Chains A and B, each alone.
Chain A
Amino acid sequence: DSGVTQTPKHLITATGQRVTLRCSPRSGDLSVYWYQQSLDQGLQFLIQYYNGEERAKGNILERFSAQQFPDLHSELNLSSLELGDSALYFCASSVGLRNEQFFGPGTRLTVL
């Protein structure tokens, strides 16, 4: 158990819908990262927050957005969902900006 929690574990929804994924980092970690992992692709970095501020952006679609709250938990919002958005979404956390990252168990999103 890494200490990073993610909810929900599974999410099934329809195309065009909007969902929110939630992540609580390890106690003491200030950085939160979001990744997408599809079957045909490796881990794709989406976005990073550090102590409430966006610090780095990867290949995140405009339909996706995230934020980190004062209590350091983070949410990833996915809107206008498409079939291709079906994937595992992982959250990770680290103490600082460039330390090793610890991953949560992931949220499996299925878009029908």
Chain B
Amino acid sequence: EDQVTQSPEALRLQEGESSSLNCSYTVSGLRGLFWYRQDPGKGPEFLFTLYSAGEEKEKERLKATLTKKESFLHITAPKPEDSATYLCAAGGFQKLVFGTGTRLLVSP
């Protein structure tokens, strides 16, 4: 069965303290690995798509990387406005399988 696991469940950082979020996946026939940001009570906001191992994508303080079994979302020098839940989803043959997310809190 397709599965996506994210760790840690929650992460508290000081402003400027860089870290990484992990997403490990077991999906038959991976068609793409997706990262989303979700603020409380709002719809997930698309961040990145990664298609093949070794691929990297960057957007402001965020960088996503992909290996054959996992993906990382690196956050460099985070700011309080980066506080949100970050969701990872793996695209299998039929549907996206979402992880339960990492709740990130960045304190000033």
A→B interface (CB under 8 Å): 2, 4, 33, 41-43, 45, 48, 55-56, 58, 88, 90, 92, 98-106, 108
A102-B46 contact, Cβ under 8 Å, with A43-B87, A88-B41, A108-B41? yes
Of the candidates B46, B95, B98, B100, which one forms a contact with A100 in the assembled complex, judged by CB atoms under 8 Å apart? B46
Pairwise interchain contact B41-A2, C-beta atoms closer than 8 A: no
Pairwise interchain contact A106-B96, C-beta atoms closer than 8 A: no
- Chain B CB count within 10 A is highest, among A42, A58, A105, for A42
A49, B100: Cα distance in complex, Å:
24
Top 6 closest A-B pairs, CB basis? A103-B43, A42-B100, A43-B98, A56-B94, A98-B31, A103-B44
B→A interface (CB under 8 Å): 31-32, 34, 36, 41-46, 49, 87, 91, 94-101
- Chain B CB count within 10 A is highest, among A2, A58, A103, for A103
- Chain A CB count within 10 A is highest, among B34, B42, B43, B101, for B43
Q: How far is the CB of A5 from chain B (nearest CB, A)?
A: 11
Q: How far is the CB of B63 from chain A (nearest CB, A)?
A: 17
A33, B42: Cα distance in complex, Å:
16
Can you report 22 A-B residue pairs in the complex whose CB atoms are below 8 A from each other? A4-B43, A42-B101, A43-B44, A45-B98, A48-B95, A55-B94, A88-B41, A90-B43, A90-B44, A92-B44, A98-B32, A98-B91, A99-B49, A100-B32, A100-B46, A101-B46, A101-B96, A102-B46, A103-B43, A103-B44, A105-B42, A105-B43
